[in-house]
């Protein structure tokens, strides 16, 4: 599952792909990369074509001064899928990636067969205080100091010491550390700040899809959440599930913000079952028009 790159509108987008069968698009979270899916991609690729990109400004994709909004991310993913020859996909998004997944389904419903939201943003205002603090003016300068080489080297040395004594970091710690390390790069850090401020401010999440969840009624939707998520509370999952009568909800007991990393076997099993037991949506602009008229009638 080697890393590949492709040019989209003159910018390089990195991605990993493997397998054969129905297409599944895996979208990572903020300051993350396609690497977050490494525990589940091989098993998923046994029955599906899996595509896991690094969003622009993340991982090995190009960092540029531009638009890091959910809408632009969705557009880039649409164009990536088009270039790779995939017309329709099951869209899976974690954290920020969940917001991007919902935006993709909203902008391009005819391209989306199923929607899977994993510890997703965009379903309520509450979010970890640390992210709200980083949205404050001037926080990027504090972030630059906190992610400087000397600070990162201390963390690396401490991690090495723990490993020498047989202590292995849990998957959530690995994910957070990988994100922290990526912010040592100035361009990546700038892209992170632009992305964060497009969806979060000091009061919490700025983007809220709850008033449009009714549009997902014909879309097979699965919500996966850890009941120990300290970044985006599990209450968002219960509330979204209640607002989407045809949705499914899977709570991973004891898991935090990264259920796909904390229990990858269960994650694969749940996702496979969902795909096998749900018929893919086939929405058109006429269907969307009817849904909108129904809501406003």
| Residues marked as catalytic | 95, 229, 257
Q: Alpha-carbon distance 271 to 116, whole Å? A: 8
Q: Alpha-carbon distance 101 to 280, whole Å? A: 16
Shortest CA distance to 182 belongs to which of 20, 14, 23? 14
Q: Alpha-carbon distance 137 to 159, whole Å? A: 32
- Whether residue 244 contacts residue 219, with contact meaning beta carbons closer than 8 Å, is answered with no
- Distances 85 to 22, 79, 81, 155 between C-alpha atoms, Å: 12, 10, 6, 42
Quote the Cα angle for 23-24-28, to 5°: 150
């Amino acid at each position: 599952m080697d890393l590949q790159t492709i040019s989209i509108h003159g910018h390089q987008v990195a991605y990993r792909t493997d397998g054969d069968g129905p297409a599944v698009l895996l979208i990572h979270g903020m300051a993350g990369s396609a690497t977050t899916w490494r525990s589940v991609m091989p098993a998923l690729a046994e029955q599906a074509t899996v595509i896991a990109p690094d969003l622009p400004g993340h991982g090995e994709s190009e960092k540029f001064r531009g638009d890091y909004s959910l809408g632009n991310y969705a557009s880039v993913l649409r164009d990536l899928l088009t270039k790779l020859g995939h017309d329709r996909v099951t869209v899976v998004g974690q954290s920020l990636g969940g917001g991007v997944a919902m935006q993709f389904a909203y902008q391009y419903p005819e391209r989306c067969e199923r929607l899977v939201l994993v510890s997703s943003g965009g379903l309520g205002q509450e979010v970890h205080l640390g992210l709200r603090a980083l949205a404050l003016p001037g926080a990027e300068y504090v972030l630059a100091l906190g992610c400087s080489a000397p600070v990162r080297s201390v963390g690396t040395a401490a991690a090495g010491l723990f490993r020498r004594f047989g202590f292995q970091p849990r998957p959530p710690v690995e994910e957070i550390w990988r994100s922290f390390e990526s912010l040592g790069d100035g361009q990546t850090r700038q892209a992170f700040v632009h992305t964060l401020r497009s969806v979060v401010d000091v009061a919490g999440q700025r983007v809220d899809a709850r008033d449009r969840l009714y549009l997902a009624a014909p879309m097979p939707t699965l919500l996966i959440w850890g009941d120990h998520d300290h970044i985006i509370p599990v209450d968002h999952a219960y509330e979204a599930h209640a607002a989407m009568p045809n949705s499914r909800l899977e709570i991973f007991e004891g898991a935090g913000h990264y259920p796909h990393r904390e229990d990858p076997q269960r994650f694969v099993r749940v996702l496979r079952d969902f795909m096998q037991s749900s018929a893919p949506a086939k929405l058109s602009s006429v269907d969307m028009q009817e849904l909108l008229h129904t809501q406003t009638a």
